[in-house]
Amino acid sequence: MRVALLALLSIWLQTGSTELGCRDENGNLVDWYYLYKLPEKVAAGRSETAGLHYTFVTAGQPSAGWQLSARNVNESESIPGRTVGPVLSAKNLLAVLYNDEPPEGKTDGLRGHTKGVVATDWTSGFWLIHSVPKYPPELGQEYHYPNTGRMYGQSFLCVSFGADQMDAIGGQLVLNEPHVYSYHVPDELRERFPKLVEATRMKTDSKPPHWNVLKMRSRAGVTFNSFAKNRYFKKELYADLIAPSLQSNLLVESWQHGAGNLPSDCSKPKWTVLNIEGVTIGQQYRFETLQDHSKWAVSGDSERRFICVGDINRQEHQKVRGGGSVCSE
């Protein structure tokens, strides 16, 4: 009996030490984190590390505010490296890597303008939403960060979930129409997560509804709302879906290079959506929107406090692209 108990204890310890979820720089499991990769010219430092510095906020130390990491985003010991690296080498996880600009091959200008990593096993998982083209590397490769991602600012949101939340996230992915460039589905998980499996098939459903709002709870019980749309929604994500759903004005940071940029929208009867023109992080880092590739929004109302991190730019052509955003509550 004692031997059996010791064996069970050993199994529990081994399983607990490799629990799947978002990780901090010490490898500790955290419920969520926000990460801002700083633009190259803002936090240049030494030339070999320019464009690799990042600031972060984690659920473990939310009151600390934005902290500048001593790590670089291309290191396996960085926050995204600790989170994504183990997934790249694991053989027993269901993992879906998606990016409209994959590490290899052509940019997909038809499917969703969406980037991220979803990974799960029988008990736990996470969803990492980011804005970095050509990232992360395919499954089976070592973790690294692309040189093409250095110049501009980039946004990351990671949330840890129980496995019971993960297939609903798969349903949001199906709506977002991701370009899945690398995935692994173990046979024993295929029936448990049918929507995640469906997302890997990259089929578009033209039948309504063309959008969905999903209320999710993190492992620690924190509520997040996922907003998803496909190409047939044909309206603007922030002004036509997020603002009316949250009943709040929005301040939006998104890519403003190229054609079709949408101006701030004050035309709606209730909610305004204003484009951000510059970002300040703490007392040290300031940069203009044109130096930033991030996609995020915050409440424009002083009595409301939430942040959304996602996929879509405020540009005319993105009305007919899939994508979404995940907002804190």
Residues 83-100 as b/e (b if ≥16 CB within 10 A, e otherwise) read bbbbbbebeebbbbbbbb
Cα(76)–Cα(84) distance, rounded to whole angstroms? Answer: 9
Query: Any idea which residue has 């690799």 for tokens?
Result: 52
Query: Any idea which residue has 């496995």 for tokens?
Result: 163
Nearest to 68 by CA among 36, 110, 28: 36
Q: Are strands 273-275 and 250-253 parallel, antiparallel or unpaired?
A: parallel
Spell out where 86-186 has E strands: 94-99, 115-120, 124-130, 154-162, 180-184
Active site residues: 293
Nearest to 18 by CA among 139, 174, 124, 136: 124
Report the SS3 class of residue 147.
helix
Residue 18 half-sphere exposure toward CB, CA atoms < 13 A? 15
